[in-house]
């Protein structure tokens, strides 16, 4: 701990993917680097530990990636999900640079594997980490250790000291002791504020208290708020977060990938009052799962129930919690804690509206209801074969959009213009590029690209 008194070339706040990329780049150039990770070692890595792939442009087969995925197509994909809520200059920079990042990542010890079973649709665009995001995080921590980077766990930064646009140090709680850690430059990589339920509740209303947080409980936005209070420019809608519908029995925090439910398109979804509220078969699930977080959030008590019968139980990937099961629809309703009688009449109305036709689980099959509101426009098969199954759905928050505005060097702008030695990377600035929606694996792209840029910029600034 004595080394903490040193004047560091670079102080990195946060310990996820973007933080590590910045630390490694700076250390490779000879800078002395300290990483202040708020989580204990077991939970290090922020939300990166839950990720699984990296969306990567490539003009020919690259590592595990097949075919080509060029800038225009990548950018079009981004435009589609963000509905234009992006900064084209920064977005194209991230996309173009992603291609050279993949070999760099491999050089640092990150390993990739072919697309996981059930995700073949991503084999062209997304390179999957062997073992997932935690394995990537482990590889980077090992690399950082080899480069002599100092890592302090359970180091919660409470204040970033900036005078007239110049950074001089951070105030940090380490194991209950407040310390001042001084540095010549700082990279802020401490994530969004989605784990701060009070903050979410201020933005979303009291309903947010019922949200589940899919990722790390350590992203409480303390540094983000401190920077905003100091006049740093922000970007992104402060009231919005990315939420998907997940299993209602998931842990409050850190449930990660296994809490997702892929049953919605093959089910009917009812709210607490036993009523349907949206077209479950609007499109294939990878294109619809993101809107269901909001749909469920808008229902009373922020809860919904997905109901299927035996015909559909094997139509989707298994989830971590077994479904609630009953031999009658009424019994299922009671077990789920909603009115069995109302559920029965909802199911009967749905069944009566189903039409004859061929069911195809893997594509839009046009099997639609007739005369039902809201209609179900694909995969509408009557729910008739016992046993019946039900899953509770709740909104699971992945990340928040509000962030620090940065330029193409990842530098933060304050009231007095561009700050001299303050950079922001990862989720704390991702709203600059991803202002709405989500594109699988793009968060890791933003983190890697801008983490590397910031690390190099910071090293160049101090050395």
Among the listed residues 86, 185, 299, 319, the single contact to other proteins using CB under 8 A:
319
Position 134 contacts other proteins (CB under 8 A): yes
Task: Give the C-alpha distances (Å, rounded to integers) separating 168 from 7, 28, 165, 244, 366.
Answer: 9, 22, 10, 40, 62
Nearest distance, CB of residue 284 and other proteins, angstroms:
19
Q: Kindly tell me which of 255 and 426 has the beta carbon lying closer to other proteins.
A: 255
Task: Give the C-alpha distances (Å, rounded to integers) separating 70 from 53, 58, 67, 98.
Answer: 18, 6, 10, 11
Position 254 contacts other proteins (CB under 8 A): yes
Backbone angles phi, psi at 55, to 5 degrees: -80, 125
Position 317 contacts other proteins (CB under 8 A): yes
SS3 track for 102-166: HHHHHHCCCCEECCCCCCHHHCCCEEEECCCHHHHHHHHHHHHHHCCCEEECCEEEEEEEEECCE
Position 257 contacts other proteins (CB under 8 A): yes
Residue 198 CA to residue 208 CA, distance in Å, equals 8
Q: Kindly tell me which of 199 and 266 has the beta carbon lying closer to other proteins.
A: 266
Q: Kindly tell me which of 111 and 294 has the beta carbon lying closer to other proteins.
A: 111
Nearest distance, CB of residue 448 and other proteins, angstroms:
18
Among the listed residues 30, 84, 103, 118, the single contact to other proteins using CB under 8 A:
118
Look at residues 105, 143, 86 and name the one whose alpha carbon lies nearest to residue 431.
86
Among the listed residues 198, 314, 327, 348, the single contact to other proteins using CB under 8 A:
314
Q: Kindly tell me which of 261 and 439 has the beta carbon lying closer to other proteins.
A: 261
Token pair of 274 as six digits: 């036993």
Selected range binding other proteins among 107-115, 234-242, 357-365, 397-405, rule: CB under 8 A: 107-115
Among the listed residues 81, 93, 116, 315, the single contact to other proteins using CB under 8 A:
116
Nearest distance, CB of residue 353 and other proteins, angstroms:
30
Position 117 contacts other proteins (CB under 8 A): yes
Nearest distance, CB of residue 76 and other proteins, angstroms:
29
The answer to whether residues 21 and 140 touch, using CB atoms and an 8 Å cutoff, is yes
Residues 6+ apart with CB under 8 A from 206: none
Q: Give the single-character DSSP code of 406.
A: B
Residues engaged in binding other proteins (CB under 8 A): 42-43, 49-50, 52, 111, 113-114, 116-118, 129-135, 138, 142, 251, 254, 256-258, 314, 317-320
């Amino acid at each position: 701990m004595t080394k903490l008194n040193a004047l560091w070339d670079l102080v990195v706040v946060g310990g996820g993917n973007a933080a590590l990329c910045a630390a490694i780049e700076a250390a490779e150039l000879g800078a002395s680097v300290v990483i202040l990770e708020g989580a204990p070692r077991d939970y290090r890595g922020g939300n990166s530990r839950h990720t699984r792939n990296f969306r990567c442009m490539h003009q020919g087969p690259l590592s595990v990636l097949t075919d080509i995925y060029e800038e225009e197509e990548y950018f079009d994909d981004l435009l589609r999900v963000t509905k234009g809520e992006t900064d084209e200059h920064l977005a194209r920079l991230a996309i173009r640079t992603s291609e050279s990042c993949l070999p760099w990542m491999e050089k640092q010890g990150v390993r990739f594997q072919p697309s996981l079973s059930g995700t073949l649709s991503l084999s062209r665009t997304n390179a999957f980490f062997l073992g997932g995001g935690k394995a990537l995080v482990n590889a980077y921590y090992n690399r950082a250790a080899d480069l002599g980077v100092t890592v302090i766990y359970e180091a919660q930064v409470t204040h970033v000291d900036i005078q007239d646009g110049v950074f001089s140090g951070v105030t940090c709680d380490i194991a209950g002791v407040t310390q001042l850690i001084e540095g010549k430059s700082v990279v802020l990589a401490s994530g969004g504020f989605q784990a701060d339920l009070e903050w979410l509740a201020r933005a979303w209303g009291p309903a947010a208290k019922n949200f589940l947080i899919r990722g790390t409980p350590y992203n409480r936005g303390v540094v983000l708020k401190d920077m905003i209070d100091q006049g740093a420019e922000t970007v992104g809608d402060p009231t919005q977060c990315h939420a998907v519908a997940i299993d209602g029995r998931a842990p409050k925090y850190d449930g990660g990938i296994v809490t997702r439910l892929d049953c919605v398109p093959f089910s009917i979804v009812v709210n607490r009052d036993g009523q349907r509220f949206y077209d479950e078969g609007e499109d294939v699930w990878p294109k619809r799962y993101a809107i269901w977080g909001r749909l469920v959030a808008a229902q009373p008590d922020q809860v919904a129930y997905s109901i299927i019968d035996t015909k559909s139980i094997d139509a989707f990937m298994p989830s971590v919690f077994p479904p609630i099961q009953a031999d009658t629809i009424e019994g299922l309703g009671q077990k789920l804690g909603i009115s069995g009688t109302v559920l029965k009449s909802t199911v009967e109305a749905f069944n009566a509206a189903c039409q004859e036709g061929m069911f195809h689980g893997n594509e839009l099959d046009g099997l639609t209801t007739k005369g039902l509101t809201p209609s179900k426009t694909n995969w509408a098969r009557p729910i008739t074969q016992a046993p019946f199954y039900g899953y509770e759905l709740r909104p699971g928050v992945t990340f928040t959009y509000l962030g620090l505005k940065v330029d193409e060097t990842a530098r933060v702008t304050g009231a007095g213009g561009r700050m001299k030695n303050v950079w922001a990377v990862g989720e704390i600035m991702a709203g600059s590029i991803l202002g709405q929606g989500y594109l699988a694996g793009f968060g890791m792209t933003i983190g890697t690209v801008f983490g590397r840029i910031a690390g190099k910029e910071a090293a160049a600034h101090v050395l």
